[in-house]
Structure 1
Amino acid sequence: MGRRFFELLYCGNHFIRTNKFAAFYLNSMFYHSSKDAPSLQWYQNEFLKVKELTHLLGNVDEVNARLVDVKSNSTFFDDDIEREMSTFKSLVRELVGSAIVQHKMKHVQASFITNAKHESFTPFSKATERDHMVVDSLTKVSNFLNVSAQQRKVVHLRVCPQVTQHRIWTGALKEVLNDFAVDLDFLSSQGLNNDALLRGQIVHSCLKFLTEIGVFSDTESSSWMKLSPSKMLASDPRKWDVLVMFNDLIECCKKEVRLKFHVAKAEIMKEGLLHIKDVSVDNSVGYKEAQHQESLVRKKLSKMLGHSSRCIFTLLLYYLYGRVVDIEVDMRGGVYANGSDGKFCLFMGRILTSDSEKMVGRGVKQLDRALGIFKFVWEMAGMKGNLDLQGHMWCVGADSRVVRYRGNTYFVHGICL
């Protein structure tokens, strides 16, 4: 019955209405918080539940608390499936910490890495290394890497001039709005968007504003070379009044739970908009004045957005990956010294519901983005030593193997007892 319900979820729709009683239920306790060392019998019992959940959740991924059907690459909402996914990942975290899985993982690493210099180390042996983490600020990354206060200042000074460029700032705003628009459209198609017209008009107005200041023109052209799409009086230059529209968008969407992540990201970008609200954005002026306007935006954002700012981190995500969604990892991992020659290894993990090529590919790319942010900060801070990157993915019934991607190593581990 549970399996049949799950198959009916994917009928080509992006969003599915919640049915709290249709899904297959298992006990939704979070097992990884247990203080007592579980017995072998406990592991065996929970492994059976993990197998059942793997069967139920096959080809479903969860990214930033949003469920994704990997086959169709569509997102959907379902409270029951979300709870089962949380239970599934909680159980897997506990199983990964078991002596049996740890021993097998160590053997797999030894088989694939012939030059391993730290044979006594096994990733994710500590409970804290198996905790979930959302990477959403430079401060969180710096704390993880033990970056000193002085080095954090260096990171801020090096990062800000790059991520506050006009094309990065406006491009990130566009990405936030386009993400908003996509989900608003799908909600409307399902009859779930009560204020569809108003919300859509606000998003359209914001995008129109950004278009009119030359955001989406050829990136090879400077702003002063772009033709102004509308005539504006010299005595009444435009300001960054898109801030008012962002406030309106947040206000009319904040009660819709399905849009909470978009609302949160809009709130984050508001921080930057507040600091530049009085800067002119008239692109009908000459070269020097246009350059001055863009320079003012850059200077104000660099000065006012501190190291802990989630706005500056969002700009960094867009600068590096062309995306604005915060990065999430199922297991936060850690850093360990890889030998005595100044080498370190950063490792993080993902939990998969299948080992299909698509699912593994998604896992690798998600880990690559997460690991890449940490290495970027490591290098910007001038940390001593070379930082190698290593990703791990777990799935019931998977064949243990290694995937190489962009020069880094990603392990696929099969879970079995």
Structure 2
Amino acid sequence: MACRSLLYRSKMRPNSGLHLNVALYHCSERPHGEEALPSEYYQKTYVKLMKLSHLLKDVDWIDGRLVRINDYSTVTDNQLEHAMHSFKSLTRSYIGGPAAQHALKQDLIASSRDAKCIPPLFFSKPNEREPFIVNSLTKVCNFLNVSAQQRKQLRLMICPQVTQHQVWTGALEETLNALKSDMQSTNHWCPGTGTMMGQQIVLSCLKFLDTLVSYDPDSTSWMRLAPTKVKDSHAFRKWEDVLDMFNDLINCLSNEKELLSHVTKLKAMKEGLAQIRDVLIDKNVGYKETRHQESLVQKKLTKTLGHSSPCLFTLLLYYLYGGVRDIEVELCGGVCGSDGGTKFLLSMGKILTSAEENMVWSGVKQLYRVLGLFKFVWETAGMEGVLELQGHLWCVGTKSNVLTYKGNLFFVHGIHL
């Protein structure tokens, strides 16, 4: 998804540092203009949104799956999923209407210290309300307009951190555990041959990974158990064994529609496994030999995983948040910056199905997660200026509100006629 740079003229409160001639970086090539729709359209759409929000009040669409918000369990229901997509799509269109845009402007003015100043407005153009799947560093860098030299620096800074043994094996286990959880849910509603076979492979793979021992570097060598001597050469295994299990797992699940996102993630991790297939996995050796094996894994992954690698991005997600699912942004928003280049503002949005407290805070945390990822890339790449974060959440019929989470502002906008 290509990015483009535009000029946007706006006023901002004096203490913010954002003022005229603000540069915006959008995540789409769609045209900027949008024809005004008749008022009847918004009236009918609002009625539909009210009905759909009531139907979907207990569920949300999070990173490619329908989940029950109380316990984050996966919901397998094609009708609900279709209703959710319709709700999100209609809401995006409604947000672009005059009433929603006026309310957005008033909410931002109300939060400003100077009521005469108008903060920069996002989400008025169709390309600012598009969904955006964040699944590679390249997409993040395109969005932030990171230069080629800065991307090189970013990769050099990130790779040694995210390819550490604990991160690598942890990401593999999290990938398999997330798949295992969803397979159990899918199997409950619609068992399939591929799912049944896949469950056995997942269990075998997790058991195999569980046998890997990574010594605590802070402990002294005399505290560690002596390695067991093994005479059978077949006892020595390689990462190729894990690669074979991943290949079998991908083949088993390739026709399981409900698990396709997991297949994509398995393929991403397979990329890394293919690079280290010849490295030994042997816990029956001494501490130094074990550390050498782990060092080989780190060096090979650091050398071979490129900037656009899905595997590298998955490792980064696990390194930052302990999860591996790709992040879905519902309204991509944009970035604006001051003339002096000393301060920038990143805004993104999410659509909620209800104004219940757990739903709102879940949305806030999801937005903070993706905003935090973009800020991490911004700072690690050495981008000039301070990047401030701002989240926007829309909900039918609720009152407007402003929440603060970890020092960042999150605006809750009510959708009304």
* TM over 0.5, shorter chain: yes
One-letter amino acid of the counterpart of residue 45, structure 2: E
- Are residues 276 and 226 of structure 1, via their aligned partners in 2, closer, same or farther at CA, if it must alter by over 3 Å? farther
SS of residue matched to 1:36 = coil
One-letter amino acid of the counterpart of residue 49, structure 1: K
> Residues 287-308 of structure 1: CA distance to partner in whole angstroms, max 9, x if unpaired?
3322221111111101110000
Structure 2 residue 371 is matched with structure 1 residue 404: no
Aligned to 2:334: 334
CA shift, 1:222, in A, is 9.1
SS of residue matched to 1:201 = helix
- d(CA) in 2 for partners of 1:269, 1:115: 50
Contact 1:224 1:286 in 2 (8 A): no
Equivalent runs, 1:9-408 vs 2, <5 Å: 36-114=35-113, 119=118, 121-190=120-189, 192-195=191-194, 197-214=196-213, 232-233=230-231, 235-236=233-234, 237-240=236-239, 241-337=241-337, 340=340, 342-408=342-408
CA RMSD of aligned residues (A): 2.6
- Are residues 285 and 387 of structure 1, via their aligned partners in 2, closer, same or farther at CA, if it must alter by over 3 Å? same
- d(CA) in 1 for partners of 2:341, 2:326: 34
Contact 1:117 1:339 in 2 (8 A): no
- d(CA) in 1 for partners of 2:331, 2:163: 31
SS of residue matched to 1:121 = coil
Deviates more, 1:56-65 or 1:248-257: 56-65
> How many pairs are equivalent?
385
- d(CA) in 2 for partners of 1:37, 1:222: 71
- Are residues 219 and 402 of structure 1, via their aligned partners in 2, closer, same or farther at CA, if it must alter by over 3 Å? farther
Contact 1:175 1:324 in 2 (8 A): yes
One-letter amino acid of the counterpart of residue 277, structure 1: R
Deviates more, 1:251-260 or 1:162-171: 251-260
- Are residues 117 and 233 of structure 1, via their aligned partners in 2, closer, same or farther at CA, if it must alter by over 3 Å? farther
- d(CA) in 1 for partners of 2:194, 2:221: 35
Contact 1:212 1:229 in 2 (8 A): no
Deviates more, 1:34-43 or 1:374-383: 34-43
One-letter amino acid of the counterpart of residue 405, structure 2: Y
- Are residues 116 and 77 of structure 1, via their aligned partners in 2, closer, same or farther at CA, if it must alter by over 3 Å? farther
SS of residue matched to 1:167 = helix
SS of residue matched to 1:328 = strand
Contact 2:389 2:408 in 1 (8 A): yes
Contact 2:398 2:414 in 1 (8 A): yes
One-letter amino acid of the counterpart of residue 306, structure 1: G
SS of residue matched to 1:297 = helix
- Are residues 179 and 222 of structure 1, via their aligned partners in 2, closer, same or farther at CA, if it must alter by over 3 Å? farther
- d(CA) in 2 for partners of 1:156, 1:178: 27
- Are residues 102 and 288 of structure 1, via their aligned partners in 2, closer, same or farther at CA, if it must alter by over 3 Å? same
SS of residue matched to 2:238 = coil
- Structure 2 segments unaligned to the other structure (5+ residues): 1-30
- d(CA) in 2 for partners of 1:222, 1:315: 29
SS of residue matched to 1:393 = strand
Deviates more, 1:81-90 or 1:159-168: 81-90
SS of residue matched to 1:412 = strand
One-letter amino acid of the counterpart of residue 161, structure 2: Q
One-letter amino acid of the counterpart of residue 73, structure 1: Y
Deviates more, 1:115-124 or 1:340-349: 115-124
SS of residue matched to 1:51 = helix
- Are residues 388 and 280 of structure 1, via their aligned partners in 2, closer, same or farther at CA, if it must alter by over 3 Å? same
- Structure 1 segments unaligned to the other structure (5+ residues): 1-31
Aligned to 2:24: none
Deviates more, 1:111-120 or 1:273-282: 111-120
- Are residues 362 and 116 of structure 1, via their aligned partners in 2, closer, same or farther at CA, if it must alter by over 3 Å? farther
TM (normalized to structure 2)? Answer: 0.86
CA shift, 1:208, in A, is 1.6
- d(CA) in 2 for partners of 1:33, 1:90: 18
SS of residue matched to 1:391 = strand
- Are residues 109 and 275 of structure 1, via their aligned partners in 2, closer, same or farther at CA, if it must alter by over 3 Å? same
- Are residues 195 and 145 of structure 1, via their aligned partners in 2, closer, same or farther at CA, if it must alter by over 3 Å? closer
CA shift, 1:372, in A, is 0.7
Deviates more, 1:117-126 or 1:395-404: 117-126
> Residues 340-384 of structure 1: CA distance to partner in whole angstroms, max 9, x if unpaired?
561110000000000101100110111011001100000011101
- Are residues 120 and 176 of structure 1, via their aligned partners in 2, closer, same or farther at CA, if it must alter by over 3 Å? closer
> Residues 49-99 of structure 1: CA distance to partner in whole angstroms, max 9, x if unpaired?
112211222122011331112234322122222222111111111111112
- d(CA) in 2 for partners of 1:73, 1:114: 38
**Percent same amino acid among aligned pairs?**
52
- d(CA) in 1 for partners of 2:336, 2:388: 10
CA shift, 1:190, in A, is 3.6
CA shift, 1:113, in A, is 3.1
- Are residues 221 and 183 of structure 1, via their aligned partners in 2, closer, same or farther at CA, if it must alter by over 3 Å? farther
